[in-house]
A and B are shown apart, each in its own frame.
Chain A
Amino acid sequence: MSAAPFSVWRAIGVVLTTLLGFAFFNALIGVFGLSAAVIALLLFIALAVLIFRLPQTERARQ
């Protein structure tokens, strides 16, 4: 766990991420049909690439 105190925003973020992850998972394995799966794949990759390209200005551990 990082040292930050409990934060409502972070909790919301965690829940949202989990739900989104679950939604993507099901879409990718075709629960909502083939076209939804394709769209989910492209969307997910686009999201990943976008996040990957953010400048990584993470500070080292104290």
Chain B
Amino acid sequence: MHALLEVRSLEVRVEDKPILSGLNLTVNAGEVHAIMGPNGSGKSTLAQVLAGRESFVVTGGEVRYQGRDLLAMAPEERAREGIFLAFQYPVEIPGVSNVYLLKSALNSVRKHQGLAELDAVEFLALVRQKMKLMQMPDDLLYRAVNEGFSGGEKKRNEILQMAMLEPKLAILDETDSGLDIDALQVVANGINALRRADRAMILVTHYQRLLDYVVPDHVHVLAHGRIVKSGGKELALELEQRGYAWIETEAGGGTAPARGAVTQ
């Protein structure tokens, strides 16, 4: 039996600058992993690489997803195979309505899985139900994707898409950033509602705040392009109290080839 996701010795560069240098991570179905770390430690890079962003160059290591070579798959293929990235900065797409994107995304995933495409009535019923969960007004459905959405609306919209697509592996990149406490609760409730025994989540976050609401099974600290410490949910609390410096010092000791990559 394979792990759902197996990252081994992953090395990634951006414009010749090493960002990830030998990252290892194993995620099993049903688990929620939090990846924490200081700014610039490579958290978002990891999230984007897993989703297939081509501007990052993988120079070493491998990633297996359900036993398959993930890095050989196109971004759309990963999405259809059940990987979902909730973007830190959801992209605005003028001229393409939210409802259109949701529908074509859902139907392309369903088609790939051998399921029948939903007709307009079934689709609307489903999307309305999910929007209620995310406390989103109906009109957001007919507006252009993320265009003119507030920060909170954009983040809710990401979780709405996730709720519609029902991924096997959800990667949430700084989904808590820029949210006030009410919006954070709505988003967290949405995420919790999607926790299932056959679904794994990776929460990428700088702060422990989100983890008060979405309690992880595992917490990892990313520094110098590697995971330098792993633990249970209590590690997040410790980081909240003590900051990241002690871990970086602890992990330093010349083992990290990419120290220059740690920037604010």
Q: Are chains A and B native binding partners rather than an unrelated pairing?
A: no
Show the binding face of A for B, using Cβ within 8 Å: none
Show the binding face of B for A, using Cβ within 8 Å: none
